[in-house]
Amino acid sequence: MLLLKRFSLLLLLVLGYFAAAVVAAAPAIIPAPPEVAARGHLLADFHSGRILAEKNADERMEPASLTKIMASYVVMAEIKADRIKESDLVRISEKAWRMEGSRSFVPVGTSIPVEVLLKGMIVQSGNDATVALAEYVAGSEEVFASMMNQQAQALGMTATHFVNSTGLPHPDHYTTARDLFTLTRALIRDFPEHYRWYAIKEYTYNNITQHNRNTLLWQDKYVDGVKTGHTESAGYCLVASGERDGMRLISVVLGTGGENERARESQKLLTYGFRFYETRRLYTANEPLSQVRIWKGAQENLPLGLKDTLYLTLPRGQYEQLNAAMKIQNPLIAPARLGQQYGTLNISLNGETLLTRPLVALQGIAEGDFFQRVVDEIKLWLE
């Protein structure tokens, strides 16, 4: 009887172990993205670029003051190129002073530093500050809009056209949710120091304090930007971004019914992304992933790696199940050129390929001398 009880206990332990293993191996439950009360929206990871949710993301829509994301990008690019400085004084024209809509209340005829105007544009969404900067950078707002369009093309924004710097309505002034993600991703990547200004909650100029209209800055500690927009025809819009545990998401919500709605719908998307997904850095750019034999060269081993740092966004809990496999050209014969592809890296999950990247030479290797080439030729023949 005692023996039977011990056997039963052992059986229960074994069955419990396998049951726990099955539960641990079960795939994560990823629900469908939330419904979003907006004309168009998109949620994507900053590092990997993976789209987690979208609707009407390629439909042309009015950007309203989201236009100022591009306006600030162009000004920041001019600063980075040392063509203008943050301390430069900008004289406020009558056109800038008379701008309708949201304003920073800059007095006509005064001279104001670029930095002050930039913060007025970013935090207060000042149309007057924006036009003043446009005129300073390009001589006129029309030429500045041309610069914005050129920059949009350079960034790969394929369905965007700007007519002005502020986002005031115009039939030929439009963009898409996907293009706004592309732009915002570039802004955060290219100008991290200036991007911090998008988290400023209030800004005072001329003894007038105005609050940032992005209410998520108060509601969500992980949110640090980006920009609101509103006109009667565009509705209420918001591009938001937040970083949590090393994962940065960007949400684009266009054409909601009010200020609270645009914040609420954006929060839905960000919460969904952070709750059900994670982003991992798999490999760093120019990090040797393999040392492979190269024949007839000045040295025997060639390091292979990736040109760019590789990030992957995947459902939470599936990282340990990833599989990486390399396929390398064989045989490799010198010379090898720096940056030339000699193989591929394949990342898969449960047998399904998630992505493939080229493996490139991380250094160049010249041909060896005559003796080395002859010896390697013999070795190859014997293999």
Written as one string, the DSSP assignment of 44-76 is EETTT--EEEEESTTS-B--GGGHHHHHHHHHH
Regarding whether 232 and 320 lie in a shared domain, the answer is no
| Mean pLDDT, rounded, for 120-125 | 97
Say if 6 falls within a structural domain.
Answer: no
Per the annotation, the verdict on 125 as an active-site residue is yes
| Per-residue pLDDT at 195 | 97
Among 22-36, 269-283, 356-370, the range of highest mean pLDDT: 269-283
Say if 3 falls within a structural domain.
Answer: no
Regarding whether 234 and 189 lie in a shared domain, the answer is yes
Q: Per residue in 132-164, pLDDT tens? A: 999 999 999 999 999 999 999 999 999 999 999
Catalytic residue, candidates 65, 72, 104, 165: 65
| Mean pLDDT, rounded, for 274-301 | 95
| Per-residue pLDDT at 371 | 79
- Residue ending a domain, choose from 247, 278, 309: 278
Say if 237 falls within a structural domain.
Answer: yes
Say if 33 falls within a structural domain.
Answer: no
Regarding whether 200 and 344 lie in a shared domain, the answer is no
Say if 2 falls within a structural domain.
Answer: no
Regarding whether 365 and 306 lie in a shared domain, the answer is yes
Catalytic residue, candidates 125, 165, 251, 266: 125
User: In this model, does residue 361 exceed pLDDT 50?
Assistant: yes
209-257-34-351 Cα dihedral, nearest 10 degrees: -80
Q: Per residue in 213-225, pLDDT tens? A: 999 999 999 999 9
Say if 207 falls within a structural domain.
Answer: yes
| Per-residue pLDDT at 2 | 35
- Short-list 62, 136, 66, CA closest to 102: 66
Regarding whether 321 and 198 lie in a shared domain, the answer is no
Regarding whether 288 and 272 lie in a shared domain, the answer is no
Say if 8 falls within a structural domain.
Answer: no
Q: Per residue in 316-339, pLDDT tens? A: 999 999 999 999 998 999 999 999
- Short-list 172, 3, 194, 243, CA closest to 80: 194
The confidence band for 191, taking pLDDT boundaries of 50, 70 and 90, is: very high
Residue 99, C-beta contacts closer than 8 angstroms, at least 6 positions apart: 127, 128, 130, 131, 166
The radius of gyration of the chain from alpha carbons, rounded to an integer in Å, stands at 28
User: In this model, does residue 4 exceed pLDDT 70?
Assistant: no
User: In this model, does residue 176 exceed pLDDT 90?
Assistant: yes
Q: Per residue in 32-46, pLDDT tens? A: 999 999 999 999 999
| Per-residue pLDDT at 382 | 78
- Residue ending a domain, choose from 278, 297, 328: 278
User: In this model, does residue 307 exceed pLDDT 50?
Assistant: yes
Residue 150, C-beta contacts closer than 8 angstroms, at least 6 positions apart: none
Print the SS3 string covering 304-336.
EECCCCEEEEEECCCHHHEEEEEEECCCEECCE
| Mean pLDDT, rounded, for 350-358 | 93
Alpha helices in 157-196 (DSSP H): 177-190, 192-195
Say if 23 falls within a structural domain.
Answer: no
| Per-residue pLDDT at 309 | 97
CA pair distance 373, 350, nearest whole angstrom: 43
Q: 305-340 burial, b if ≥16 CB within 10 A, otherwise e?
A: bbeeebbbbbeeeeeeeeeeeeebeeebebebeeee
Regarding whether 339 and 255 lie in a shared domain, the answer is no
Report angle CA 162, 166, 168 to the nearest 5 degrees: 80
User: In this model, does residue 47 exceed pLDDT 90?
Assistant: yes
Higher pLDDT, 21 or 177: 177
| Per-residue pLDDT at 166 | 98
| Per-residue pLDDT at 28 | 63
The confidence band for 209, taking pLDDT boundaries of 50, 70 and 90, is: very high
Domain total of the chain: 2
User: In this model, does residue 374 exceed pLDDT 60?
Assistant: yes
| Per-residue pLDDT at 25 | 44
User: In this model, does residue 1 exceed pLDDT 60?
Assistant: no
Domain extent, residue 328, equals: 284-382
Per the annotation, the verdict on 290 as an active-site residue is no
The confidence band for 130, taking pLDDT boundaries of 50, 70 and 90, is: very high
Per the annotation, the verdict on 65 as an active-site residue is yes
CA pair distance 295, 301, nearest whole angstrom: 9
What is the bridge-based pairing of β-strands 290-295 and 332-333?
Answer: parallel
| Per-residue pLDDT at 381 | 82
Regarding whether 200 and 55 lie in a shared domain, the answer is yes
Regarding whether 46 and 64 lie in a shared domain, the answer is yes
| Per-residue pLDDT at 16 | 46
Regarding whether 293 and 178 lie in a shared domain, the answer is no
Regarding whether 296 and 229 lie in a shared domain, the answer is no
- Residue ending a domain, choose from 278, 300, 320: 278
CATH number at residue 350: 2.60.410.10
CATH number at residue 139: 3.40.710.10
Regarding whether 304 and 241 lie in a shared domain, the answer is no
